[in-house]
Amino acid sequence: MCGVKCISFVLWIDILNAITGENIPKLEITPLNSVIHVGEDLKITCKVIDCPVNATFVWTSAMDKFLKAEIKNEHNVSHLLMRNISIHSDSVKCQTTCDRKILQKMSVIEVFSFPEDPVLPKIKSLIANQEQKLICTVPNIYPLERFQIEWFRGDKSLHKEELDLQNSDKVQNYSSVFNYTPSVDDQGKNISCKATLYLNSWVRTTTAEYGPGTVTVSSNNTSVKLGEQLEITCHADGNPKPKIFWWKLGETEPEHQSQNNKLIISNASWSQAGWYRCNASNNVGSQQMSVKVIVVGPPNIPKIQLSHRGELKEGENISIFCSSDGGPAELKLYRQSQSAATGGPNESAVLLNISSIQITDAGIYICEAKNDFGIETSKMNITVKVCRLK
């Protein structure tokens, strides 16, 4: 065992060198460790300190392989320039001889290839509860065993994959295949693929582009009272964020009342009832959803018309029409003071035919439109002229 005696000996040598003025030659190599991309150049410098004579330098590969590089010596400094680093480049050893003393040091080289961001094909759509096959390809990487691929939905990690070590002695593409089933809670969050190189903690991330999937509306109640306002918001998941347009079926132009993904119906009228379509689209695809807008309120004043023109005489045939152009209503057509009526719910018109009209058929006829919000009527007084025998 050496212990205190060895330490004392070292201190004694240092004191002796100080007294005699001699310095022990030292060798420095920079950088000691290099992490470098395939195809780049690397310069390593080897320097002798406190060498009283011109030192000689020898550069070798750590594995004693042929070292192809440019070497430039300047007094007690030697520069090694390695151009176009390949995956087969090895750590190097600098050996110097100074006044018959041999010194050597290593410079460790780690080579990698990670030139591009991951590539994700465009995804037609991501629909809740439907499995989707996702593919992320990281081009031209090396060495595989130092990489990890991770899938994200928003900030949530979905899947981690350590890369296959087979055939990892070359620059190559690597594809991660992940079967993913979106949930409703995932809507609005982007899908991304992150590739990490552990050598230098280098990260590259790509966000997937996908077309609109599930299209939803903000309210299940699409009824509006006459004269009031209705707003329906359309939501669609996609990247880039889908553009939203509303159409009323049967019309060719988007609704001017739509803004910020909303269909806005102000001062609702009967003509605004019907089917509306929300169209969500981006550069990947499009999806549509239809909703039925129902306008409710008291019926309009119905119309009552007589088929006969001019003076009405006994024995003539007539028809009485009762119609309504408002919202859903039950129509009835009947003679005042009589309970008999013709008509029914949700009919836009009713008809009463009278064959060979008689004086007893004269009177006031009523056209009635009725629903849960009110009742409106129109009346017509029918007179019949008696034909006298000559």
Report how far residue 130's alpha carbon sits from residue 112's, in angstroms, rounded to the nearest whole number.
38
pLDDT above 90 coverage of the chain, percent: 56
Q: How confident is the model at residue 389 (pLDDT cuts 50, 70, 90)?
A: low
Distances (CA, A) of 8 to 11, 16, 20, 39, 118: 5, 12, 18, 51, 60
Whether the Cβ atoms of residue 139 and residue 116 lie closer than 8 Å to each other = yes
Average pLDDT over residues 355-374: 91
Lowest model confidence (mean pLDDT) among 85-94, 344-353, 367-376: 344-353
Residue (of 304, 386, 309) closest to 352 by Cα position: 304
pLDDT number for residue 327: 78
- The single-letter code of the amino acid at 212 is P
Checking if the pLDDT of 57 tops 90, the result is: yes
Q: How confident is the model at residue 341 (pLDDT cuts 50, 70, 90)?
A: low
Max avg pLDDT among 10-24, 100-114, 158-172? 100-114
Average pLDDT over residues 30-36: 94
pLDDT number for residue 66: 59
Lowest model confidence (mean pLDDT) among 3-12, 278-287, 294-303: 3-12
Superfamily of domain 132-207: Immunoglobulins (2.60.40.10)
Q: How confident is the model at residue 62 (pLDDT cuts 50, 70, 90)?
A: confident
Task: Kindly report, as residue ranges, where domains of CATH 2.60.40.10 are found in the chain.
Answer: 3-112, 132-207, 215-296, 303-382
Report how far residue 243's alpha carbon sits from residue 236's, in angstroms, rounded to the nearest whole number.
9
pLDDT number for residue 73: 93
Lowest model confidence (mean pLDDT) among 287-296, 337-346, 381-390: 337-346
Q: Cis omega (within 30 of 0) on the bond before 143?
A: yes
Considering the chain, what is the average pLDDT of its residues?
Answer: 86
pLDDT number for residue 167: 64
Checking if the pLDDT of 65 tops 90, the result is: no
Checking if the pLDDT of 6 tops 50, the result is: no
What is the assigned CATH class of domain 215-296?
Answer: mainly beta
pLDDT number for residue 68: 80
Q: How confident is the model at residue 148 (pLDDT cuts 50, 70, 90)?
A: very high
CA 253 to chain centre: 27
Checking if the pLDDT of 25 tops 80, the result is: yes
Checking if the pLDDT of 256 tops 60, the result is: no
- How is the chain split among helix, strand and coil, in percent rounded to 5? 10, 50, 40
Lowest model confidence (mean pLDDT) among 29-38, 134-143, 205-214, 326-335: 326-335
Query: Domain 303-382 maps to which CATH number in 2.60.40.10, 3.40.50.300, 3.30.470.20, 1.20.140.10?
Result: 2.60.40.10
Residue owning tokens 């060798």:
27
Report how far residue 312's alpha carbon sits from residue 383's, in angstroms, rounded to the nearest whole number.
7
Average pLDDT over residues 176-182: 94
Q: How confident is the model at residue 44 (pLDDT cuts 50, 70, 90)?
A: very high
pLDDT number for residue 254: 67
Average pLDDT over residues 283-295: 93
Predicted TM-score (pTM) of the model is: 0.70
pLDDT number for residue 17: 47
State whether residue 331 is helix, strand or coil.
strand
Q: How confident is the model at residue 103 (pLDDT cuts 50, 70, 90)?
A: very high
Report how far residue 78's alpha carbon sits from residue 103's, in angstroms, rounded to the nearest whole number.
14
Checking if the pLDDT of 2 tops 60, the result is: no
Q: Could you read off the pLDDT of 226-246 as tens digits, one per residue?
A: 999 999 999 998 999 999 989
Fold of 3-112: Immunoglobulin-like (2.60.40)
Q: How confident is the model at residue 20 (pLDDT cuts 50, 70, 90)?
A: very low
pLDDT above 70 coverage of the chain, percent: 88
